[in-house]
């Protein structure tokens, strides 16, 4: 399985590749976009500077280093939609990015997808988690538009991912692993992530009150689940337990979260993922494998496993 890591600047690139990343992805906001729209009108789903490659020259240097190591670089362009007024600026930007040698684009907007499919046939097009591909029909539709890779949404079970990957084998499917677990379904979330302290809406403690009476049992369960997030840290997101099952399910790559995170954290996540991919080759006993993953999670984050921060909570049991 391939390990896919974020990258934010040139100084960390070689360390990420040496740690074992098979592919890097990152974002770059050009000056003309900042002048016209600022970071708050998201070009690539990040609204703070630390999660963006600083300038075009640095992006070019990152791509050269990645290609020199025989790896690939994908550019994030995954806002859920872009306006017609933004398209000329967007296409000029993409002309320059393809000239730099990007290998792929991570995107969600179907209109932009159709434009770039014709304009840049050499690029591998990835459906972002913002595309909300939650069934095989959706993936088949995106495949018909030119998508050859897809990152499946964070809330899906291993079995659901396996069914989708098997139904549309012409598209390579990736799954999330390590940090950044979110309580919301990302492709349907309308919260704005603009707090300068990077405290996102899904982390703020708030109460839900039924409009009419006590509400249903389903609402009560949703309220209890939402309230429980104040006791957990979404940055402890994991999923190590699921690696053997994901591999058997036809998942092609493991995508690590963390654009804007410190280099040391990115490197630790790559090494941890690589360690457990290798362990999956040598440990046939899934129970033993899982026990080691639970211990590794506690060492890495200093906290116990919890359904909130497990990417594949169906694998949790009382013992964890």
- 91 Cβ contact list (under 8 Å, min separation 6): 115, 119
Q: What is the pLDDT of residue 319?
A: 44
Q: Which domains does the chain have, with CATH numbers?
A: 2-181+189-202+234-313 (3.20.20.70)
Burial 98-109 (b: 16+ CB within 10 A, else e): bebebbbbbbbb
Of 124, 66, 119, residue with least CA distance to 93: 119
Q: What is the pLDDT of residue 234?
A: 84
Q: What is the pLDDT of residue 107?
A: 96
Q: What is the pLDDT of residue 320?
A: 39
Q: What is the pLDDT of residue 205?
A: 74
State the residue for tokens 């909300």.
132
Structure tokens at 56: 């075009």
How far apart CA 30 and CA 57 sit, in angstroms, is 11
Q: What is the pLDDT of residue 317?
A: 64
Burial 70-86 (b: 16+ CB within 10 A, else e): ebbbbbbbbbbebeeeb
Low-confidence ranges of the chain (pLDDT < 70): 39-40, 317-320
Q: What is the pLDDT of residue 48?
A: 83
Q: CB atoms < 10 A from the CB of 127, how many?
A: 30
DSSP secondary structure of the chain = -EEEEE---HHHHHHHHHHT-SEEEE----HHHHHHHTTTS-SSS--SGGGS-S-HHHHHHHHHHHHHTT-EEEEEE--S---GGGHHHHHHHHHHHHHHT--EEEE--HHHHHHHHHH-TTSEEEE-GGG---SHHHHHHHHHTT--EEEPPTT--HHHHHHHHHH-TTSEEEEEESS---SS-GGG-------TT---GGGS------SSTT--HHHHHHHHHHHHGGGS-GGG---GGGHHHHHHTT--EEEEP-TTS-HHHHHHHHHHHHHHHHHHHH---HHHHHHHHHHHHHHHHSS---GGG-SSGGG--TT-
Q: What is the pLDDT of residue 39?
A: 64
How far apart CA 127 and CA 112 sit, in angstroms, is 12
Contact 200, 193 (CB under 8 A): yes
Of 239, 237, 243, 241, residue with least CA distance to 291: 241
Q: What is the pLDDT of residue 40?
A: 64
Contact 176, 255 (CB under 8 A): yes
- 103 Cβ contact list (under 8 Å, min separation 6): 72, 73, 74, 123, 124
Let me know the angle formed at the C-alpha of 37 by 35 and 42, rounded to the nearest 5 degrees.
130
């Amino acid at each position: 399985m391939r390990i896919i890591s974020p990258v934010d600047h040139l100084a960390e690139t070689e360390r990420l590749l040496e740690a074992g990343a098979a592919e890097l992805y990152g974002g770059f906001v050009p000056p003309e976009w900042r002048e016209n729209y600022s970071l708050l009108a998201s070009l690539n789903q990040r609204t703070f500077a630390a999660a963006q490659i600083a300038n075009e020259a640095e992006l070019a240097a990152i791509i050269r280093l990645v290609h020199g190591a025989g790896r690939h670089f994908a550019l994030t362009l995954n806002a859920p939609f872009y306006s017609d007024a933004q398209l000329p600026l967007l296409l000029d930007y993409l002309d320059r990015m393809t000239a730099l040698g990007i290998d792929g684009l991570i995107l969600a907007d179907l209109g932009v997808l159709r434009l770039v499919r014709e304009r840049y046939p050499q690029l591998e097009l990835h459906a972002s988690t913002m595309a909300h591909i939650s069934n095989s029909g959706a993936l088949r539709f995106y495949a018909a538009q030119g998508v050859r890779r897809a990152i499946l949404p964070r809330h899906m079970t291993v079995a659901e991912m396996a069914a989708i990957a098997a139904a549309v084998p012409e598209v390579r499917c990736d799954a999330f692993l390590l940090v950044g677990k979110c309580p919301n379904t990302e492709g349907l979330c309308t919260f704005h992530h603009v707090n300068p302290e990077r405290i996102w809406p899904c982390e703020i403690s708030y109460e839900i009150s039924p409009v009419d009476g006590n509400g249903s049992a389903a609402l009560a369960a949703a309220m209890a689940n939402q309230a429980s997030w104040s006791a957990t840290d979404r940055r402890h997101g994991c999923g190590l337990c699921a690696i053997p099952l994901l591999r058997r399910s036809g998942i092609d790559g493991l995508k690590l979260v963390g654009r804007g995170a410190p280099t040391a954290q990115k490197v630790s996540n790559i090494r941890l993922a690589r360690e457990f991919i290798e362990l999956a080759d040598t440990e046939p006993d899934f129970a033993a494998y899982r026990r080691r993953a639970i211990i590794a999670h506690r060492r890495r984050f200093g906290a116990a496993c919890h359904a909130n921060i497990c990417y594949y909570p169906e694998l949790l049991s009382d013992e964890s």
